[in-house]
Amino acid sequence: MVFFEQVKKTYHGRTKPALDEINLHIQPGQFVYLSGPSGAGKTTFLRLLFGAELPSSGLVKVLGADMGRIPARAMPRLRRKIGVIFQDFKLVRGLTVYENTALALSVAGINGKTMANQVSKTLAQVGLAARAHTLVETLSGGEQQRVAIARALVARPKLLLADEPTGNLDPENAREIMRLVVQAHTRGTTVIVATHDPQLIKLVRGPKVIRLYQGRLEEGS
Ligand SMILES: Nc1ncnc2c1ncn2[C@@H]1O[C@H](COP(=O)(O)OP(=O)(O)OP(=O)(O)O)[C@@H](O)[C@H]1O
């Protein structure tokens, strides 16, 4: 599902690598926590998986694709199989819950009845069916994060990447969001959640925990 071999990532203009000597294998169906303090390289790790950054050296393979060599035209097809909940992928203001969720499908070339069915089903799964036609900016933080999850899951991805998905939420909403992520995992999605919150790790039974520290994997990860 995910394979890293001797991966190093140094950002332009930086001397110290954000990630270094990363060797890792994630099996299909695993639930992975990527933990580590701020600046440890968690977001960089996820961005490499999504093709938002290229490795400086080493091999990153995602769903069989070599992310350092994949042609640009093949990227959209791969990204359709990856759901992302990133802090900087904001919801689109002025659009409803339904429209924000449907957008992810129309970008993937899915329209019409299939789109309508998948959006309705996904909104029901995240408990937002009744809010489908509400503008996203009028929702609470917890509800907005549920829209972000719906958007990430609506195309039924094989891999779900979440960067601090409970970042600005109170404990109750955080638990609810994690329940939805776990539900996606139960349905067969491989999940990688980056967080520096140790409380979050306690909410899932038996995950694989990977610890990053200053760009390197800690022993035992
Ligand atoms: N676009 C960029 N350009 C230059 N340096 C960057 C860039 N993005 C991240 N970095 C640097 O790479 C290192 C790792 O950052 P990264 O965001 O991956 O860490 P993180 O573990 O996700 O941190 P946080 O929990 O604060 O989000 C940091 O030193 C950061 O300053």
pLDDT per residue as tens, the chain (221 positions): 999 999 999 999 999 999 999 999 999 999 999 999 999 999 999 999 999 999 999 999 999 999 999 999 999 889 989 999 987 668 999 999 999 999 989 887 888 999 999 999 999 999 999 999 999 999 998 999 999 999 999 999 999 999 999 887 888 888 888 999 999 999 999 999 999 888 888 888 888 999 999 999 997 66
pLDDT at 172: 87
Q: How far is the CA of 120 from the centre of ligand 1 (A)?
A: 36
How is residue 156 annotated by DSSP? -
Q: How far is the CA of 97 from the centre of ligand 1 (A)?
A: 31
Q: Which residue has its alpha carbon closest to ligand 1 atom 5?
A: 11
Q: Is 89 in the pocket of ligand 1 (CB under 6 A)?
A: no
pLDDT at 168: 77
Q: How far is the CA of 80 from the centre of ligand 1 (A)?
A: 25
Domain ranges for the chain, please list them.
27-54+65-81+157-221, 92-155
Tokens representing residue 204 in the block: 């899932």
CB atoms within 10 A of CB 183: 14
Q: How far is the CA of 40 from the centre of ligand 1 (A)?
A: 7
pLDDT at 52: 93
Element (H, E) at 68: none
Of 86, 109, 106, 83, the C-alpha closest to 95 is: 106
- Tell me how far apart the alpha carbons of residues 173 and 143 are, in angstroms, rounded to a whole number: 9
pLDDT at 88: 66
Q: Which residue spans within 44-135 are E strands per DSSP?
A: 57-62, 65-66, 82-85
Q: φ and ψ at 191, to 5 degrees?
A: -125, 135
pTM, 2 dp: 0.93
Q: How many helices (H) and strands (E) does the chain have?
A: 7, 10
pLDDT at 220: 65
Give the number of the atom of ligand 1 that is nearest the alpha carbon of residue 13: 4
Return the CATH class of domain 27-54+65-81+157-221.
alpha beta
pLDDT at 90: 83
Helix/strand/coil for 192? strand
Give the number of the atom of ligand 1 that is nearest the alpha carbon of residue 16: 29
